[in-house]
Every structure is written in structure tokens, then in C-alpha cells.
Amino acid sequence: QKEVEQDPGPLSVPEGAIVSLNCTYSNSAFQYFMWYRQYSRKGPELLMYTYSSGNKEDGRFTAQVDKSSKYISLFIRDSQPSDSATYLCAMSAWPGGGATNKLIFGTGTLLAVQP
């Protein structure tokens, strides 16, 4: 069983829709949760970073963590064609990956926002 599970999609939505992306995990030691966005032929870039349970909002993006259910979500409001990318969840027991600098990634969800 993978430590982190993520629906690979693809997910296609019309412009303006609310998008929900999700990951589940099995390791209860994870405390730090990230969402990366990866455009085609580019490296991942950090989108959201949260610690422990709760919500964090940044513009059109909201990250939610439910540690009791081992479930994290990313919501995108008023989605735009420029949001079309692969979204990767990542997590770690230590900030930034700690001494081993290792993040555990989901496999990514491919999102297409249609104009």
C-alpha cells in the first residue's frame, strides 16, 4: 500500500467551476502538508503549505487537512484555464522534509480547465 494515494484524474471542468483535489495517507506521523502545481515540461512549484489540521486560504486556493481521517484537500474557486496543470500533494513528518530533505508525494492529478 502506498503511503499517499491520489486520484490521477484526468479531471476536466469548465472555467469558473470549483475544483476539489484530494489525497489520503496512511502515516500518522505526517504533520506538514503541501500542494505543488506542475505545468507541462516544468518542475513542481509550491502552491500551499499547511501544518497539522485545519484550513489555509490563499486567494482562490484553500487547503484543508483532516488528520483524524488522514485526508487532505485543495479547493480552487473560480477556476481559470491557467490553472490547467498537474497537482501533486506532498507530505512529511518534518518541516520541509527534515534532515533527509524527503517529501512523500502523491502521483498527481491532471486538471484541465476548459474556456
Partner 1 sequence: EAQVTQNPRYLITVTGKKLTVTCSQNMNHEYMSWYRQDPGLGLRQIYYSMNVEVTDKGDVPEGYKVSRKEKRNFPLILESPSPNQTSLYFCASRTGGDTQYFGPGTRLTVL
Q: Residue numbers of the site for partner 1 (CB under 8 A)?
A: 4, 6, 8, 32, 36, 41-46, 49, 88, 90, 95-97, 99-103, 105-108
Query: Closest separation between CB of residue 1 and partner 1, Å?
Result: 14
Query: Which CB, 61 or 105, lies closer to partner 1?
Result: 105
Query: Which CB, 42 or 77, lies closer to partner 1?
Result: 42
d(CA 79, CA 14): 8
Query: Closest separation between CB of residue 84 and partner 1, Å?
Result: 18
Query: Which CB, 99 or 115, lies closer to partner 1?
Result: 99
Query: Which CB, 5 or 17, lies closer to partner 1?
Result: 5
Closest CA to 103 of 88, 92, 87, 89: 92
Query: Closest separation between CB of residue 51 and partner 1, Å?
Result: 9
CA-CA distances (angstroms) from residue 104 to 19, 37, 77, 80, 90? 23, 15, 26, 28, 5
For residue 73, what are the β-bridge partners? 22, 64
Query: Closest separation between CB of residue 12 and partner 1, Å?
Result: 19
Query: Residues with Cβ < 8 Å from 84, sequence gap 6 or more?
Result: 111, 112, 113
